[in-house]
Amino acid sequence: MAFAWMSRLLGRDQSQLQKAIELSKRLVSGAGETGGTIVAQELANCTAALNDEELFQYFRWLVDDMAPDQPVLLVAAQAYVSEPSTLNAARLTEAAEPRRQELLRRLNTAPGGTARIVALRGKLLTLLKAHPELKPLDIDMKHLLASWFNRGFLELRRVDWNTPAAILEKLIVYEAVHAIDGWDDLRGRLAADRRCYGFFHPALPGEPLIFVEVALTNRISDAIAPLLDHPPAGREASPETTAIFYSISNCQPGLRGIGFGNFLIKQITQNLRAETPSLRVFATLSPVPGFRRWLDAGGQQLGTGLARLCAMYLSGVQADGTPGPSRDPVANFHLSNGARLDRINEGADLSAKGQAESCGVMVNYRYVATAIEENHMAFVERGEVRVSPAVARLLRSSTIEP
Amino acid sequence: MAFAWMSRLLGRDQSQLQKAIELSKRLVSGAGETGGTIVAQELANCTAALNDEELFQYFRWLVDDMAPDQPVLLVAAQAYVSEPSTLNAARLTEAAEPRRQELLRRLNTAPGGTARIVALRGKLLTLLKAHPELKPLDIDMKHLLASWFNRGFLELRRVDWNTPAAILEKLIVYEAVHAIDGWDDLRGRLAADRRCYGFFHPALPGEPLIFVEVALTNRISDAIAPLLDHPPAGREASPETTAIFYSISNCQPGLRGIGFGNFLIKQITQNLRAETPSLRVFATLSPVPGFRRWLDAGGQQLGTGLARLCAMYLSGVQADGTPGPSRDPVANFHLSNGARLDRINEGADLSAKGQAESCGVMVNYRYVATAIEENHMAFVERGEVRVSPAVARLLRSSTIEP
Amino acid sequence: MAFAWMSRLLGRDQSQLQKAIELSKRLVSGAGETGGTIVAQELANCTAALNDEELFQYFRWLVDDMAPDQPVLLVAAQAYVSEPSTLNAARLTEAAEPRRQELLRRLNTAPGGTARIVALRGKLLTLLKAHPELKPLDIDMKHLLASWFNRGFLELRRVDWNTPAAILEKLIVYEAVHAIDGWDDLRGRLAADRRCYGFFHPALPGEPLIFVEVALTNRISDAIAPLLDHPPAGREASPETTAIFYSISNCQPGLRGIGFGNFLIKQITQNLRAETPSLRVFATLSPVPGFRRWLDAGGQQLGTGLARLCAMYLSGVQADGTPGPSRDPVANFHLSNGARLDRINEGADLSAKGQAESCGVMVNYRYVATAIEENHMAFVERGEVRVSPAVARLLRSSTIEP
Amino acid sequence: MAFAWMSRLLGRDQSQLQKAIELSKRLVSGAGETGGTIVAQELANCTAALNDEELFQYFRWLVDDMAPDQPVLLVAAQAYVSEPSTLNAARLTEAAEPRRQELLRRLNTAPGGTARIVALRGKLLTLLKAHPELKPLDIDMKHLLASWFNRGFLELRRVDWNTPAAILEKLIVYEAVHAIDGWDDLRGRLAADRRCYGFFHPALPGEPLIFVEVALTNRISDAIAPLLDHPPAGREASPETTAIFYSISNCQPGLRGIGFGNFLIKQITQNLRAETPSLRVFATLSPVPGFRRWLDAGGQQLGTGLARLCAMYLSGVQADGTPGPSRDPVANFHLSNGARLDRINEGADLSAKGQAESCGVMVNYRYVATAIEENHMAFVERGEVRVSPAVARLLRSSTIEP
């Protein structure tokens, strides 16, 4: 029985969890209830006060007891099986929506409700590995969040030294690629020849969802350290021709998998072009986080030369020399967004992390406006990785000869 | 066959419709496609250019061809019928989502996409009466819009003479209860002793979704004309004690049935109280739009006296004297929001519309903070209409004696 | 004795005036007084309540009793006369500042103080003609206002249909050149092919100081009626190449003579160019308000042909054929701003006012970026009016031959 | 001859200085010149590039050559001496205005002109001590700045963690009383139980003019260290009843002597009261920066006990026991603003600076709303220092007995 596990709970735990469940029931059942927002607010506060064990039990309750109504769904499914008409499909769609979706929509009406739901999903994701039975809840949460954080509702904003400190400090916390070492370091990242953009949602006004750091330079960077220096060693006064995307960080663990990144890079490229017409080249300086693992798993035996091996890894060449899908998450992201693999830089990231994961290699993915669509299609539909002539030469030289 | 009807179409029509369908297919099938926003933008423009007949055909296509995938849904339904487990329910939920929902979510990524979808639903609603087969599409549109226009995403804003003219002119257009006769009349509605509030959504920045007009007075108004006069005949300088909600207008036909009204009145009451602490009484001056129809349909035979008959109509007294659900949409709105039926005013609206629909009667619904919850529950759960002592006396006097 | 005239005043008059004078004395004498703002606020309210006669008396008191301290000034003047050193000059400067300047600065600290002072000067200007003895007060007021409304403190803002109605209605009131006939007319003036800009001051946030109306067309307009039509008869969809400044209105009578107009036109030209790069030509369509008077005063005898006479009038040709300073205020404004006299259009303004003042003639002044500086210098330093070849021909043909 | 000293200058110096002088002449002489703003902009840039010696020479030129026109002033002075009429006074006022005032007003029209003038005065003040002959220039600059930074033009803004970092970093730089040790320290100063307010001017949008730091507590603080700790040792959750103003810092050296501080404290008190109605007590925790110097200069001989001596020092008791004006700048500020001397706290500031200047003593000045006016008048008009009963007792006990 669904509530069986609840008997194990005692004292405060039980009552807090019980309260969350009672409020949830009340919230989901009240038909347009006047007090809806008040109950939603109470439930929001209550879930925020649950400890990890209680939260796990609450999530289980959502999975088990806030599923679609079983008898109703059964009838609708049987009706559709007997007669798969448009009308029966529509009825089945309705019956198949888990009640927890409506519950979450009502929870969202509380002040701060959206932030609460994002936080709940963050917790859920940490539990999911050990508790795959919570997956149905994640499907619903992700479904709702993807709908609410639809690109049409997001706002791209420039982040600079005039941005509120409350937002800036989040960059320090959330920077996932090249750690920001305090406020002075942050200030360097927002200097005159740097750009930073973030996506924001109206319901999370002070929270960046994702942000991108860009350096304006006059050539495609081949190492990360000079970009992180401040004041930059020999920063050029010459006209800026090149935008280097050197860091992309997701900020909200609870929005994992929602994916606004492709729109972000495309839109930033447009903004940069409008703002700084001298810019001609748009490229990344990216890590290769799966490289070391791939080498250790056998890649090493495919030949010699770090750059050659990396080109093979990223272009997805198989052990037998035939092309295959890229295995690197960063590569997948940029290649599916229409970039080409432009250059492989050895010794480009000498940090501990860079050495440990990427063997010090960093890669430039380049976005050429006229080729984006075609590169994207080639990669998505046929798994082909578009590369620059230089990388092509590297790959030819690396063809495995038995 | 679903496309059979398309063969009837010729020339431009066919190609425009064809284009909308092709773009829709492309949009819904592209997996995270780089060009997503561009295709969405093209589809938005294309649907805006469809004429009524084309739109109808496009809607039919959405109903027929953008339904859930039939074989997939059949398998999922059968699996659930054989074993109604949590997992099978989750799979069925996924399979049961019509593909048009994803299509609409992607259309929403276009600049102005949300406005486009609201406009499409507006058109759909006008077609729905004659074409009930389009209902499944309306279910999906309403479902998505209800999720996107969740109260948590709406912003309540005061509208006054400092509001942009582009928004103010919409009040003139949208005012549904007591028509606004041009800018001078509008200005009177926004005078120092008036308040106007609207709900706005971030994706429709210049568009009120619904707005409420309030007059601050020192007694519960018993007629509409003095409220619409400007400058008001003998407007009192005495401290304002009473807020009269005299007009509530929905602005977006495409959002019909989404329902933000109950939260709106509650929140406006809070805002008014904070802003003008002298306010003690919150009441409406409302039309009774179904009264004349009810009289003509037999209500007239229940007794004499316009006020008595109206009290009977609104309190839902049946022909046999027993209570029943109220049949008036305005009454339903306020009673389910927790108001009580406070007073019935004969000769309160002498306009043509007021005479034609409400026989000149207007009603005060009163919101007493401490009783809202209880009134609401009584009405929603037991169909009981709470009334003032005065209305109670009226009703007692009207008990039908054979 | 300075207060002699006060004995004539009686009853409320005396007490209101007396109160204003007492508050003024208190305000100007309190050294950094804590209550400064409160006294300033009271004085602001008090002066707003004075009737015209009281105000006149108050102004006289400011002239007579808030002048520089006579004995102190006498000593300082004598010291400077005996020894005109830098130090004595500085002391004399200090002694020569009328105490009313400090009074006005302190009045300005009241909430709404700046608006109050602007209003007071507006009243003063209406009294000045009949009462030239108030001139010293106007000198001080103008001096202070010119300092406070320094170009460095003004903000140029685009005014359009998204501007608050409270500002837009002021355009209707203040339009001084071509009256705006209500909100529909105003909307036409703010249509897609129109621009409107205003200067604003932070202390008068909802008050335009001056505004300029511009039509974007594809040729230099030769008549006003088509510009005022809406929807415009045959408005062109062709690319806009020409900006026609067709109306410039000062809004604040109390700021007469402060003069922000030259900066305004220059800056609007820059804004327009940045916003609509297709614009190549910047010209006015201006009335010739002194033309009829000039004709009646003898100009008529200088020749025939309305256009020729107008060219003579505007270029300042003397009765004997020699050039002289232009006598037209609008001409002076544009010529001193660096425009050239470009074309004379007969029958361009058939309104009653246009006929009465300008004999129906309107003129294009043209701003050619590369010639502005030189035109300006020629006019300001040598009284030379720069004209187009066409106007030059007209003038040659009009040389008076005895 | 005024330019004599210029012959000493050579090379770049001469040309830069020469350029500043030429631009100044051109700017002040151009009558409403079209290019005014451009010349002003050039002059602004040029003065920013002058080195200290050049700047000094430029200032001397402003004093000597931009004084009132000597012959004109002489005539006006003589006329007034012969006949001191209102009209002659007005003429003398006009003639006595140094031409540099108009020059500065025109410089102000440049973008960033106001900031430039404030910076110039900052430099001037550093030169003034060694070069008292520059005083006439400072009189004019201070005169203009006091007019422009009139309270009516200033905006009081709350500063908190949502304020742009570009403003917050200025707090770190400008904090003059208790140094802020980096961003973490700053964050503590802006915690939930702290308030910070600044005055801003529209022409210096990102620059606080002065700011005040406030701690909300439940008693009048007697030591600074606990207020600067973060997280505060034992910060109370109990309702906040007391606002402690513990730091007031002027930010713009170039605005020294302009004085917005009294309005600031009064207005902050009002804001705090409105925002946190539980606040009842408003007091400072202030240093006594002149105490040590006074002790060393003989104060020490007046008795024993640090608190007693400090009470004597602050209340202005003379060596012979009679009252006199307070000699402490901080005391003068608060007492003239209507505060009373409330309590003297020994060992309240153990920092090096606190020990060196104030012998570790800190003082509470208390603002009692109903007594502010009277305290202020007593101090300003009669030099009386209002004290609490406790300080009165301390003073009685310290009466010097020979």
Least confident of A241-255, B220-234, C242-256, D121-135: B220-234
User: Tell me, what's the pLDDT at A322?
Assistant: 54
Query: Is A334's pLDDT higher than 60?
Result: yes
Looking at this predicted complex, what is its ipTM? 0.86
DSSP-H helix ranges across D30-84: 36-49, 52-65, 70-82
User: Sorting pLDDT into bands at 50, 70 and 90, what band is D143?
Assistant: very high
User: Tell me, what's the pLDDT at A13?
Assistant: 47
Q: Tell me which chain C residue has its CA closest to the CA of residue B186.
A: C165
* A96/B139 Cβ within 8 A: no
For A176-200, how does the pLDDT look when each residue is reduced to its tens digit (9 = 90+)? Answer: 778 888 999 999 999 989 999 999 9
Least confident of B210-219, B307-316, D48-57, D155-164: B307-316
The partner residue sitting opposite D67, judged by closest CB among C86, C109, C144, is C86
> Among candidates C164, C227, C161, which has minimal Cα distance to C200?
C164
Query: Is C385's pLDDT higher than 50?
Result: yes
In chain B, the percentage of residues whose pLDDT exceeds 90 is: 64
Of the residues C286, C315, C326, C358, only one is catalytic, namely C286
Q: Round to whole Å and give the CA distance between D285 and D246.
A: 5
Mean pLDDT of B140-160: 94
User: Tell me, what's the pLDDT at A35?
Assistant: 57
Mean pLDDT of B284-310: 89
Query: Is B320's pLDDT higher than 90?
Result: no
CA dihedral defined by D127, D133, D138, D139, rounded to 10 degrees? 160
User: Tell me, what's the pLDDT at A2?
Assistant: 35
Q: Tell me which chain A residue has its CA closest to the CA of residue B202.
A: A202
Confirm if C16 and C49 have CB atoms less than 8 A apart: yes
Q: How far is CA A123 from CA A126, A138, B60, B92, C23, in A?
A: 5, 11, 42, 26, 66
Chain C residues inside the 8 Å CB shell of B187: 165
For C267-326, how does the pLDDT look when each residue is reduced to its tens digit (9 = 90+)? Answer: 899 899 998 999 999 999 999 999 999 998 888 888 888 999 999 999 876 555 555 566
User: Sorting pLDDT into bands at 50, 70 and 90, what band is B378?
Assistant: confident
Least confident of A18-32, B272-286, C221-235, D356-370: C221-235
Q: Which two tokens stand for residue A64?
A: 């088990």
User: Tell me, what's the pLDDT at B261?
Assistant: 62
User: Tell me, what's the pLDDT at D3?
Assistant: 36
The partner residue sitting opposite B164, judged by closest CB among C162, C182, C187, is C162
User: Tell me, what's the pLDDT at D75?
Assistant: 95
CA distance B175 to chain C (A): 18
CA distance C288 to chain B (A): 34
In chain A, the percentage of residues whose pLDDT exceeds 70 is: 89
User: Tell me, what's the pLDDT at C155?
Assistant: 93
User: Tell me, what's the pLDDT at A1?
Assistant: 34
Size of interface A-D (CB pairs under 8 A): 31
CA distance C116 to chain D (A): 12
User: Tell me, what's the pLDDT at D318?
Assistant: 59
> Among candidates C108, C294, C126, C311, which has minimal Cα distance to C201?
C108
* C262/D34 Cβ within 8 A: yes
User: Sorting pLDDT into bands at 50, 70 and 90, what band is B38?
Assistant: confident
In chain D, the percentage of residues whose pLDDT exceeds 70 is: 89
User: Tell me, what's the pLDDT at A175?
Assistant: 86
Cα A304 to chain centroid distance, Å, stands at: 34
For B326-349, how does the pLDDT look when each residue is reduced to its tens digit (9 = 90+)? Answer: 678 899 889 988 899 999 999 999
User: Tell me, what's the pLDDT at B1?
Assistant: 34
User: Sorting pLDDT into bands at 50, 70 and 90, what band is D400?
Assistant: very low
> Among candidates D167, D55, D175, D172, which has minimal Cα distance to D119?
D55
Query: Is C262's pLDDT higher than 70?
Result: no
* C168/B163 Cβ within 8 A: no
User: Exposed, middle or buried by CB within 10 Å (0-12, 13-18, 19+), for C398?
Assistant: buried
User: Tell me, what's the pLDDT at D356?
Assistant: 94
User: Sorting pLDDT into bands at 50, 70 and 90, what band is B7?
Assistant: very low
Most confident of A221-230, B263-272, D147-156, D325-334: D147-156
* D161/A164 Cβ within 8 A: yes
Q: Round to whole Å and give the CA distance between D307 and D341.
A: 12
> Among candidates D244, D249, D339, D344, which has minimal Cα distance to D285?
D244
Question: Which residue did the predictor score with more confidence, C31 or A94?
Answer: A94
Question: Across all residues in chain C, what is the average pLDDT?
Answer: 87
* C63/D70 Cβ within 8 A: no
Size of interface A-B (CB pairs under 8 A): 176
Query: Is A93's pLDDT higher than 90?
Result: yes
Q: Which of B38, B61, B73, B93 to mutate to test the interface with A (most CBs of A within 10 A)?
A: B93
Q: Which of B62, B86, B201, B379 to mutate to test the interface with A (most CBs of A within 10 A)?
A: B86
The partner residue sitting opposite D164, judged by closest CB among A163, A183, A206, is A163
* Cβ neighbours for A39, distance < 8 A, ≥ 6 positions apart: A23, A26, A27, A30, A33, A106
Question: Which residue did the predictor score with more confidence, B108 or A376?
Answer: B108
Please work out, in degrees rounded to the nearest 5, the angle formed at the alpha carbon of residue C191 by the alpha carbons of C187 and C194. 120
Q: Which domains does chain A have, with CATH numbers?
A: 4-148 (1.20.140.90), 152-284 (3.40.630.180), 291-396 (3.40.630.150)
Q: Which residues of D touch A (CB under 8 A)?
A: 161-166, 168, 182-183, 187, 206
For A366-398, how does the pLDDT look when each residue is reduced to its tens digit (9 = 90+)? Answer: 999 888 888 988 888 888 899 999 999 988 875
User: Tell me, what's the pLDDT at B399?
Assistant: 52
CA distance C275 to chain D (A): 20
Specify the DSSP element, H or E, that contains C250. strand C242-250
Most confident of A235-249, D160-174, D292-306: D160-174
SS in 3 state form for chain A?
CCCHHHHHCCHHHHHHHHHHHHHHHHHHHCCCCCCHHHHHHHHHHHHHHCCHHHHHHHHHHHHHHCCCCHHHHHHHHHHHHHCCCHHHHHHHHHHHCCHHHHHHHHHCCCCCHHHHHHHHHHHHHHHHCCCHHHHHHHHHHHHHHHHHCCHHHCEEEECCCCCEHHHHHHHHHHCCCCCCCHHHHHHHHCCCCEEEEEEECCCCCCCCCEEEEEEEECCCCCCCHHHHCCCCCCCCCCCCCEEEEEEEEECCHHHCCCCCHHHHHHHHHHHHHHHCCCCCEEEECECCCCHHHHHHCCHHHHCCCHHHHHHHHHHCCCCCCCCCCCCCHHHHHHHHCCCEEEEEECCCCCCHHHHHHHCCCEEEEEECHHHHHHHHHHHHHHCCCCECHHHHHHHHHCCCCC
The partner residue sitting opposite C86, judged by closest CB among D63, D146, D263, is D63
